[in-house]
């Protein structure tokens, strides 16, 4: 019996070990639900053909054709059907295993690749296949045999971008959507209005952009520096025309990305109030200026005046024309109540409606907007502040101030999207604990590991309540992000972790494999195509102090495939003119002295990581 158990264990170990190494080899992000390695490989060459079954599949087939042409200068023929000796076939069958809209199957064997899925599923099958292709300019295009069955963990996998604080050209917004689609994210939350700029053209209210899209200047440095506030003295602004918005929405739809517009109300509204001051509290409000500083402002939309609601409805009418999304995000966060307390219109509304206080007035505001949008067949999303004073009946809650808002909403039977600050899903926070080595950011730590190890669904929910957690999102607020390169820097590699917690089974989490193999491989790809990203610190060492006369530093690994590690022992910041780490290095310190070892990673294109420090102290003999 003992022997039997022992051999069973050995078997299990063998299979487990094999399954692990199979997925390592493939380095897919997000890691698929099921992956089995086959034998042999499929070779793509000029004689290979791309097959499809119907017009829908043909679109995906064409995407592969385009990719092979652009990346490898290989032009393959398209055909209807799967006949032939070397065929990559896309099909959307009515099979039971592919009931889900986003699930797919991919099988690679010598002579045949088959991708099966419906709509988004087939598209995701293609994304996985693209990740299996060898590097750009490779001589032969071999894909190892494998069979994959995959489906997402969460239906909602979101990424947000704030274009109010800083804005980015349409061409970059499209790139952002490309990044999302390649990693199977499916909801782009476009934060279009805030205190510092109104960025969407509204024909009925032209001053929103004519006035509200421009600020006199912009704050520089961190905003919590108190009296040391500083401004750049340079006007800033711009907006997206309705034509451009349509273009973005259509572009995203073709990549199975839904675009959710956010229009902030009742707070974060200074840009709108600068354009139409009559929408603020009191009888002769304003004038207001589009904000040049970051923060939360006391002037908000008046909840007493009918004109406020009429205007916002007029705005939302045009928004609904532009965005087919069933969800419209109406903000609801950080709306101070000071002005409402002193406003006769708001107080009258409170009385008439029998409301308890200004929190219930905020709830009245949100519920009224919800009713309007529901009447047009749309649903609202709001930040978790919309819980205060009573939740609107059909609202979906975006839980950002930790997990408690999400838990409360799910317990009330409301849908929830988790985007907890405390889980590192604020990509405006810094990626390292070393402040001085990072570019200016809002502060606080949200490193890759923190994002990867977080669990989107909060603990303590019943199984029924679990169902209300639609999914997870990361937010990219841009107070401190003025360039597209910095957007990319803040995004990568954390986007990989987001994709994985949103799509993959939590059981498949393995931090070492994820960071050391898969992230390192995907960063090497970004490195090649010139996308900006943050180079993670050297793998195998953390900032440490060791008390000993000598120490050997072993098994360091570059965080980008193909990258190199350089080090110093003289406390200077290492670079590519220093010693290269190629194997174990022993350092020593004389009695009573210290030795400081610092190591960096430099990527193939020359991007450099922060350094990691190991401090060796040899105490004097007692
Ligand atoms: C909070 S998250 C905000 C934003 C800021 C962000 C900075 C949320 C609903 N409101 O206005 O940009 O923090 O991290």
Give pLDDT tens digits for 151-162. 999 999 999 999
134 CA distance to ligand 1 middle (Å):
40
CA of residue 156 to ligand 1 center, whole Å? 21
Q: How confident is the model at residue 263 (pLDDT cuts 50, 70, 90)?
A: very high
Q: pLDDT-based confidence at 15, cuts 50/70/90? A: very low
What are the structural domains of the chain? Answer: 2-150 (3.30.379.10), 156-529 (3.20.20.80), 544-617 (2.60.40)
**Best mutation site among 192, 334, 399 for ligand 1 pocket (most ligand atoms within 8 Å of CB):** 334
Q: Are 401 and 421 in contact (CB under 8 A)?
A: yes
82 C-alpha vs ligand 1 centroid, how far in Å?
51
Task: Determine the pLDDT at residue 262.
Answer: 98
State whether the beta carbon of 52 lies less than 6 angstroms from ligand 1. no
Mapping DSSP onto H, E and C, the string for 11-54 reads HHHHHHHHHHHHHHHHCCCCCCCEEEEEEEEEEECCCCEEEECC
Distance (Å) from CA 477 to ligand 1 centroid: 7
The per-residue pLDDT for 188 is 98
pLDDT computed for residue 96 by the predictor: 62
pLDDT at 9 exceeding the cut of 90: no
Q: CA 159, 165, 169, 170 torsion: positive or negative? A: positive
Q: Write the CB contacts of 354 (distance below 8 Å, at least 6 apart in sequence).
A: none
Please identify which residue in the block is written with the tokens 């990581």: 609
Give me ligand 1 centre to Cα 360, in Å.
22
Which residues form the catalytic set? 194, 268, 334
User: Mutation test of ligand 1: which of 333, 398, 418, 473 has the most ligand atoms closer than 8 Å to its C-beta?
Assistant: 333
Residues 546 and 67: their CA atoms lie apart, in Å, by 51
The mean per-residue pLDDT over the stretch 252-271 comes to: 98
Atom of ligand 1 nearest to the CA of 294: 12
Any atom of ligand 1 within 6 Å of the Cβ of 104: no
Statement: residue 611 has pLDDT above 50: yes
- pLDDT per residue as tens digits for the range 529-566: 999 999 999 999 999 999 999 999 999 999 999 999 99
**Cβ-contact 265, 331 below 8 angstroms:** yes
Higher-confidence residue of 344 and 2: namely: 344
Residue located nearest, by CA, to atom 12 of ligand 1:
477
pLDDT digits (tens, 9 = 90+) for 410-457: 999 999 999 999 999 999 999 998 878 899 999 999 999 999 999 999
Are 393 and 414 contacting, i.e. CB atoms less than 8 angstroms apart?
no
**pLDDT tens digits, 51-60:** 999 998 999 9
Asked if residue 477 has its Cβ within 6 Å of ligand 1, the reply is yes
C-beta of 188 in contact with ligand 1 (< 6 A): no
- 402 touches ligand 1 (CB under 6 Å): no
Closest-CA residue, ligand 1 atom 5, reads: 477
Helix, strand, coil % over all residues of the chain, rounded to 5: 35, 25, 40
pLDDT-wise least confident of 5-14, 127-136, 236-245 = 5-14
Residue 297 CB–ligand 1 contact under 6 Å: no
400 CB within 6 A, ligand 1: yes
Task: Find out whether the beta carbon of 383 lies less than 6 Å from any atom of ligand 1.
Answer: yes
What is 276-319 written as a DSSP string? Answer: -GGGSSSSS--------S-S--S----SS-HHHHHHHHHHHHHH
Write the residue with the smallest CA distance to atom 4 of ligand 1: 477
Cα(597)–Cα(614) distance, integer angstroms: 5
Mean pLDDT, residues 25-38: 95
Give the whole-number percent of the chain exceeding pLDDT 90.
89
Determine the atom of ligand 1 nearest the C-alpha atom of 333: 9
What confidence category does residue 391 fall into, taking pLDDT thresholds of 50, 70 and 90?
Answer: very high
Distances (CA, A) of 202 to 160, 210, 245, 348: 22, 10, 11, 30
Confidence of residue 12 (pLDDT cuts 50, 70, 90): very low
Q: Report whether residue 442 contacts ligand 1, using a CB cutoff of 6 Å.
A: yes
User: What rounded mean pLDDT belongs to the chain?
Assistant: 93
């Amino acid at each position: 019996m003992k022997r039997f158990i022992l051999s069973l264990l050995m078997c299990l170990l063998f299979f487990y070990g094999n399954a692990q190494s199979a997925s390592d080899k493939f380095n897919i992000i997000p890691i698929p639900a099921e992956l089995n390695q086959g034998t042999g490989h499929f070779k793509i060459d000029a004689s290979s053909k791309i097959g499809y079954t119907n017009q829908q599949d043909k679109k995906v087939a064409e995407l592969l054709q385009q990719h092979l042409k652009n990346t490898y200068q290989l032009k393959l023929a398209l055909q209807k059907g799967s006949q032939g000796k070397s065929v990559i076939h896309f099909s959307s069958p009515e099979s039971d295993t592919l009931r889900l809209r986003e699930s797919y199957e991919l099988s690679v064997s010598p002579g045949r690749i088959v991708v099966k899925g419906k709509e988004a599923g087939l598209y995701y099958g293609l994304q996985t296949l693209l990740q299996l292709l060898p590097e750009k300019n490779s001589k032969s295009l071999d894909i190892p045999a494998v069979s994959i069955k995959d489906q997402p963990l969460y239906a909602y996998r979101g990424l947000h971008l704030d274009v109010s604080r800083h804005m980015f050209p349409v061409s970059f917004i499209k790139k952002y959507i490309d990044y999302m689609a390649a990693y199977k994210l499916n909801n782009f939350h476009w934060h279009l209005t805030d205190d510092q700029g109104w960025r969407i053209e509204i024909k009925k209210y032209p001053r929103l952009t004519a006035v509200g899209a421009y600020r006199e200047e912009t704050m520089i440095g961190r905003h919590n520096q108190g009296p040391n506030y500083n401004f750049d003295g340079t006007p800033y602004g711009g907006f997206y025309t309705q034509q451009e918005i349509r273009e973005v929405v259509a572009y995203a739809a073709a990549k199975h990305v839904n675009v959710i517009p956010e229009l902030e109300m009742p707070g974060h509204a200074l840009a709108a109030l600068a354009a139409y001051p009559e929408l603020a509290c009191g009888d002769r409000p304003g004038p207001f200026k589009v904000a040049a500083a970051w923060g939360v402002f006391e002037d908000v939309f008046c909840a007493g005046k009918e004109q406020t609601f009429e205007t916002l409805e007029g705005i939302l009418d045009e928004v609904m024309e532009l965005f087919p999304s069933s969800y419209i995000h109406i903000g609801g966060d950080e709306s101070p109540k000071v002005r409402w307390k002193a406003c006769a219109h708001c107080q009258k509304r409170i009385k008439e409606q029998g409301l308890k206080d200004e929190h219930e007035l905020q709830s009245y505001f949100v519920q009224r907007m919800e009713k309007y949008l529901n009447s047009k067949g749309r649903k609202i999303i709001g930040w978790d502040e919309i819980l205060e004073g009573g939740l609107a009946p059909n609202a979906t809650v975006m839980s950002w101030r930790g997990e408690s808002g999400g838990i409360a909403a799910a317990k009330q039977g409301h849908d929830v999207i988790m985007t907890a600050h405390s889980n590192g899903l604020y990509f405006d926070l810094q990626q390292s604990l070393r402040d001085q080595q990072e570019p200016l950011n809002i502060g606080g730590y949200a490193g890759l590991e923190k994002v990867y190890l977080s669990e989107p669904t909060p603990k303590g929910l019943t199984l029924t309540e679990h169902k209300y957690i639609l999914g997870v999102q990361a937010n990219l607020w841009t107070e401190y992000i003025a360039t597209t390169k910095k957007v990319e820097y803040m995004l990568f590699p954390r986007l990989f972790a987001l994709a994985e917690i949103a799509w993959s089974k939590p059981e498949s989490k393995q931090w070492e494999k994820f960071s050391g193999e898969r992230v390192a491989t995907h960063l090497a790809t970004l490195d090649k195509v010139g996308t900006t990203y943050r180079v993670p610190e050297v793998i195998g060492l953390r900032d440490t102090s060791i008390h000993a006369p000598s120490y050997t530093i072993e098994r360091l690994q570059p965080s980008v495939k193909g990258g190199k590690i350089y080090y110093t022992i003289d406390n200077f910041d290492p670079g590519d003119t220093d010693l290269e780490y190629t194997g174990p290095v022993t350092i020593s310190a004389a009695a009573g002295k210290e030795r400081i070892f610092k190591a960096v990673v430099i990527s193939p294109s020359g991007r450099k990581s922060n350094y990691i420090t190991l401090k060796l102290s040899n105490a004097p003999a007692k």
